[in-house]
Amino acid sequence: MSFEDGWAAIHLEMPKRVPRTEYSVTEHWELVRAVTGLDVDGSSPPQERRRAQVAFEKAWNFGFLWGTHIGRQEFGDLCTDMGHAEYAAGGVDRRDTIHCPFKTPEEVLDFDPWQAYGRKDGDEMTRRFNEIHRAQSEQNPHAVTMVGIYVTLMSGLIDIFGWEMLLLAAGTDPKRFGELANRYASWIAQYFQALARSQSPVVMVHDDIVWTSGAFLHPEWYRRYVFANYRKLFDPLRRAGKRIFYTSDGNYTEFLDDVVDAGAHGCVMEPSTDMAYFAEKYGRTHFFVGNADTRILLRGSKADIRAEVERCMGIGKGCPGFFLAVGNHIPANTPVEAALYYNRCYEEMGPR
């Protein structure tokens, strides 16, 4: 009943148990083997890996599968490579290549994505999203799937310029940097219009607008140049009847009201964002996902893990659109016994 639970929660029709999702955990092969009994690892053929992942997702009652499909690949070679730290099992994702095509803040402030990346074929983008939606629905009938965009606005600027040049440009001239954000938003709007025309009823909108410590630019800058553009970007999705998931890493507590006002139907939160505030204010009108702390699974006792699940359930269980999740991923170095105990606590506390 995972799909039914997830669909009900997204539409604020309280299911009989709290649905959930998790991130990265289906690449934790030792845990996947423990849960499914299937002999699989990262070197297994893709079909075998996916069969085991589906079995795991069903066993753990995934109500939806988080997904985005528009990312840095849209920028071709004209974007920054910041490298990648080791995260996945065996460090297979580590990348030490670092390159930024922009050398001065002025180059950043003068950048025009229309000139750099051009106009997109709207019909072709819509066909692309429909094909993604069809494939996702066929391959994952056990959970709600979605099409989505990773580089909504701030995340797009981060990928294009990298952190160093982005912050230098924003500090050099916040107004011109805001005008750049407006130009980027007008360009990325092509994708949102195609998403609105697509057949997917659910859209994931991802944008990392903050750090763990919170905003890295003045809050009023965000309100003038980020959330004002969100309203324009989200509008065609809402008019098309899409359900909009919104995700930002870090602590965006001070901007939860702005995200809701911009038109998001639900929010995905890491542990640093105040989920209790969201539940108190929007728990009857919006769905939300989160926000157990992976550090407790990594280093905590069973009592700590149980207390963390109790905290999340205490916030969300009475809300019709609540999904449990470890908000900052379950990586491959998570002790298997800790993850299994976390799931046992969820199974005990999940029924309403």
pLDDT tens for the chain, 352 residues long, are: 699 999 999 999 999 999 999 999 999 999 999 999 999 999 999 999 999 999 999 999 999 999 999 999 999 999 998 654 555 555 555 556 678 999 999 999 999 999 999 999 999 999 999 999 999 999 999 999 999 999 999 999 999 999 999 999 999 999 999 999 999 999 999 999 999 999 999 999 999 999 999 999 999 999 999 999 999 999 999 999 999 999 999 999 999 999 999 999 999 999 999 999 999 999 999 999 999 999 999 999 999 999 999 999 999 999 999 999 999 999 999 999 999 999 999 999 999 9
- Compute the distance between CA of residue 39 and CA of residue 30 in angstroms, rounded to an integer: 9
> What phi and psi, each to the nearest 5 degrees, are found at residue 159?
-65, -35
- How far apart are the two ends of the chain, measured CA to CA in Å? 15
Q: How far apart are CA 213 and CA 251, in angstroms?
A: 6
Question: Other C-beta atoms within 10 Å of 149: how many?
Answer: 25
CB 249 within 8 A of CB 217: no
Closest to 324 (Cα-Cα) out of 8, 62, 51, 3:
62
Q: What is the DSSP string of 270-312?
A: -TTS-HHHHHHHHTTTSEEEEEE-HHHHHH--HHHHHHHHHHH
Q: Which CATH class is domain 2-349?
A: alpha beta
Could you count the other beta carbons within 10 Å of the beta carbon of residue 306? 18
Q: What is the pLDDT of residue 9?
A: 98
Beta carbons within 8 Å of 95's beta carbon, 6+ residues apart? 81, 83, 84
Q: State the amino acid at position 311 in one-letter form.
A: R
What are φ and ψ of residue 29, in 5° steps? -65, -35
Q: Which pLDDT belongs to residue 62?
A: 97
Whole-number Å distance between alpha carbons of 341 and 305: 8
Report d(CA 254, CA 87) in Å as an integer: 29
* pTM for this prediction: 0.94
Look up residue 250 and give its two tokens: 């870090």
Q: What is the predicted pLDDT for the residue at 81?
A: 87
Cross-strand pairs, 323 = 289
Which own/partner contact pairs does 300-303 have at CB distance under 8 Å and 24+ positions apart? 300/338, 302/338, 302/341
Q: Which residues pair with 247 in a beta bridge?
A: 206, 268
Say how far apart CA 143 and CA 312 lie, in whole Å. Answer: 22
Residues 6+ apart with CB under 8 A from 6: 19, 21, 62, 63, 64, 143, 144, 323
Tell me which H or E stretch contains 149: strand 147-149
pLDDT at 86: 55
The verdict on whether omega for the bond into residue 251 sits within 30 degrees of 0, i.e. cis, is no
SS3 per residue for 34-66:
HHHCCCCCCCCCHHHHHHHHHHHHHHCCECECC
The secondary structure of residue 20, as a DSSP letter, is B
